[in-house]
Amino acid sequence: MIEKIGNVTLNLNYYNGVDNYSDGEEIEDKLLQIVKNYESFEKIAENSSEWPIVYHLSKKRQNILEWYDFKKKDAILEIGAGCGAITGLLAEKAEKVVSIEISKRRSLINAYRNQKYNNLEIVVGNFNDIKIEGKFDYITLIGV
């Protein structure tokens, strides 16, 4: 099943119905509500005392790849996209980004936070079960 959230394609064809990784349902639901209801969440992340909100929504994590000179024609495969802390940066820099995440809830957070990008597909499922098609110039595994 394929869904669209804004411009993002959410591919649920490999999702087994179970989120096997989570920071907890309550905090991830809170993250989902933040990204659904606010266009910018940097201030929310800066002012929060809840570590998962700071960790997942701060732009500081983008520093890990912000400096890298990806080309606009590049295709990037992101394995373990989580809540999308790096995904938006990749979508800004590359022509195509395919992100893989085992958790549907985290994929929803990622999709809502990055819904403006029409070059992003998020595939929900276990990496070992997903048939990856096409070629990629880069593959990232950050924090996985």
Amino acid in the structure at residue 144: V
**CA angle, residues 129, 131, 132, in degrees to nearest 5:** 125
Amino acid at 20: N
Work out the pLDDT band at 143, boundaries 50, 70, 90. confident
Distance from C-alpha of 3 to C-alpha of 23, rounded to nearest angstrom? 24
**Which pair of structure tokens corresponds to residue 6?**
């804004």
pLDDT for residue 39: 84
d(CA 71, CA 126): 28
> What is the rounded distance in angstroms from the CA atom of residue 8 to the CA atom of residue 30?
21
pLDDT tens profile 30-52: 999 999 999 888 899 999 999 99
Report if pTM > 0.85: yes
